[in-house]
Structure 1
Amino acid sequence: MLFTETFSEFYEKFKTSLSDGTFAKLTFAKTIGQAELKNIFIRPVLDENELKLELKFRFQQEELFEIHSVDSAFDRLLPFINNPFLSVILFTTEFDLTYKLNKKRAVSVTEQAPTFGNASEVLLEYLNKK
């Protein structure tokens, strides 16, 4: 099952947090079973003064890094929803947003108080140069 529509709405909130300078962290967590891939961490990076995303794939024995544009990262990350990840957490300075699949694979998105008080330094540096 593809979660394109629901994850797309969630990803738009992520993109908004990038543009308004409140983004702190994005994490794929809570895998199904004993998956080799443990987490995916997404953070902004500057590549020739352009804002891009570093995707860090953390496996049991190694870490792999990929750089993507903000838009192309969506297509790279979407297949990992439900295979193997059941939750994605967006941390911003205004709120934490959790995208979660239950056992029946129904999607819920919940908002909580922010965990982080400061936005990504790379993002703030980029926005200050604009």
Structure 2
Amino acid sequence: MSFQPVFAEFWEKVKESIANKTYAKLTLAKTIGDTDLKNMYVRPVLNDGVFSLSITARYKTEEIESFHTLDEAYIVLAPYMNNPFLTALLFTTENDITFKLNKKRVGTIIEQAPTFKNASDVILEMKERGM
């Protein structure tokens, strides 16, 4: 069975957290073996009042940042699941949601108590502006 439907379900939780203004951050981590790409961070940004997501890919020797719409970000991030990442961690003010791939590459979603008390600064700014 493919893990993509479970990752799509996880991405719906990402979209909900942004819509509900509870999003704190998203991290792709736990690589398979020793890879050049160490992790990826996704944070919201406002450029001239326009919402987008900043994706920072952290490599051994450099960081590359790119900006995407919410739907584009899914298309950019999805191929990295299973190659090289096994885990995606969504931090919200309501709970921490983890997408994990096991050794058989079956995806699961786990919810835990929240790590962050506050949403990201950009999400809070959007809330203040009524965006």
Same fold (TM over 0.5): yes
Q: Aligned equivalents of 1:50 and 1:69: distance in 2?
A: 10
Structure 1 residue aligned with 2:39: 39
Unaligned runs of 5+ in 2: none
Q: Aligned equivalents of 1:117 and 1:61: distance in 2?
A: 32
Q: Aligned equivalents of 1:43 and 1:22: distance in 2?
A: 12
Structure 2 residue aligned with 1:111: 111
Structure 1 residue aligned with 2:29: 29
1:16 aligns with 2:16: yes
- SS of residue matched to 2:83: coil
Q: Aligned equivalents of 2:2 and 2:48: distance in 1?
A: 34
Q: Aligned equivalents of 1:69 and 1:128: distance in 2?
A: 21
Equivalent runs, 1:38-117 vs 2, <5 Å:
38-117=38-117
Deviation at 1:5, TM superposition (A): 1.6
Please report the TM-score for the alignment, with normalisation by the length of structure 1.
Answer: 0.96
The count of aligned residue pairs is 130
Unaligned runs of 5+ in 1: none
Please report the TM-score for the alignment, with normalisation by the length of structure 2.
Answer: 0.95
RMSD: 1.2
Letter paired with 2:80: F
Q: Aligned equivalents of 2:28 and 2:81: distance in 1?
A: 9
Deviation at 1:127, TM superposition (A): 2.7
Deviation at 1:108, TM superposition (A): 1.1
Deviation at 1:2, TM superposition (A): 6.0
Letter paired with 2:47: D
Cα deviation, 1:24-80, whole Å, max 9, x if unaligned, reads 010000000001000000000002211100000000010000000011110000100
- SS of residue matched to 2:21: coil
Cα deviation, 1:3-22, whole Å, max 9, x if unaligned, reads 43211110010011001111
- Percent identity reads 50
Residue 43 of structure 1 contacts residue 54 of structure 1 at CA under 8 Å; is this kept in 2? yes
Q: Aligned equivalents of 1:111 and 1:5: distance in 2?
A: 17
Q: Aligned equivalents of 1:108 and 1:2: distance in 2?
A: 11
Q: Aligned equivalents of 2:24 and 2:90: distance in 1?
A: 8
Structure 2 residue aligned with 1:128: 128
